[in-house]
Amino acid sequence: DADVTQTPRNRITKTGKRIMLECSQTKGHDRMYWYRQDPGLGLRLIYYSFDVKDINKGEISDGYSVSRQAQAKFSLSLESAIPNQTALYFCATRNSGGANVLTFGAGSRLTVL
Amino acid sequence: AQSVTQPDIHITVSEGASLELRCNYSYGATPYLFWYVQSPGQGLQLLLKYFSGDTLVQGIKGFEAEFKRSQSSFNLRKPSVHWSDAAEYFCAVNFGNEKLTFGTGTRLTIIP
């Protein structure tokens, strides 16, 4: 099994629908991150969490929310999806003692029609 | 402002030829530096990292990178590419905070 698992891997939805992307990890890491990847823009940070009680906004948090249900689970929600949220979303984890060496999930491709 | 630049959007190299992918950053101190590779349909895999010490670092899959403080660069190299190296490569920098800032990526195509 993968260390960082994202579900679903692919999702097509319509404008205005609520979408949740889920991430779970078996690494035992305390830090978890959600990134968005768009062609030509690289990866941009949406939200990150130090532990279940500590959630922080990244550079592009508008239109997104997150929930850290447990140390191993970090979900990303789009309350009302719009087409420009079509992207590849990555969850990543790391230990607080590690100098930002991230472990990535395989990605969730979201298409908003 | 802190930034990471990968000036080459797309590079095509013949199999067996050498490769250099460029990465520059803007920062007043020495950051932590990383190269990640993303194969089609996959997540990102760490190739190598630089924190301090020897400025030439070795990574997986035969890759190496050299940190040049005077040029604010961390270029990735491989002496002889293989068809399996075709992927997208991302330079990433930690500017002394919690976040990792990524470059826009360089897509590598290998021709036989």
- Structure confidence by residue, pLDDT tens digits, B60-88: 999 999 999 999 999 999 999 999 999 99
- At A27, phi and psi to the nearest 5? -80, -20
Q: What is the pLDDT of residue A99?
A: 61
A33, closest residue in chain B (CA to CA) = B99
Q: Say if the Cβ atoms of A42 and B102 lie within 8 Å.
A: yes
Q: Say if the Cβ atoms of A101 and B49 lie within 8 Å.
A: yes
pLDDT band at B95 (very low <50, low <70, confident <90, very high): confident
* Residue in B90, B100, B103 nearest the CB of A100: B100
Q: Say if the Cβ atoms of A40 and B44 lie within 8 Å.
A: no
> Cα–Cα distance between A65 and A82 in angstroms, integer?
14
How far is CA A5 from each of CA A21, A93, A105, B18, B47, rounded to the nearest angstrom? Answer: 11, 11, 6, 35, 21
Q: Say if the Cβ atoms of A102 and B100 lie within 8 Å.
A: yes
> Cα–Cα distance between A48 and A74 in angstroms, integer?
9
CB proximity B29 to A under 8 Å: no
Q: What is the pLDDT of residue A101?
A: 85
Residue A29 contacts residue A45 (beta carbons within 8 Å) = no
| pLDDT above 70 (res B31) | yes
Low-confidence ranges of chain A (pLDDT < 50): none
CB proximity B9 to A under 8 Å: yes
- Give, for A61, the enclosing helix (H) or strand (E): none
Q: What is the pLDDT of residue A97?
A: 72
| pLDDT above 80 (res B97) | no
Task: Please list every residue in chain A whose beta carbon sits closer than 8 Å to the beta carbon of residue B9.
Answer: 40
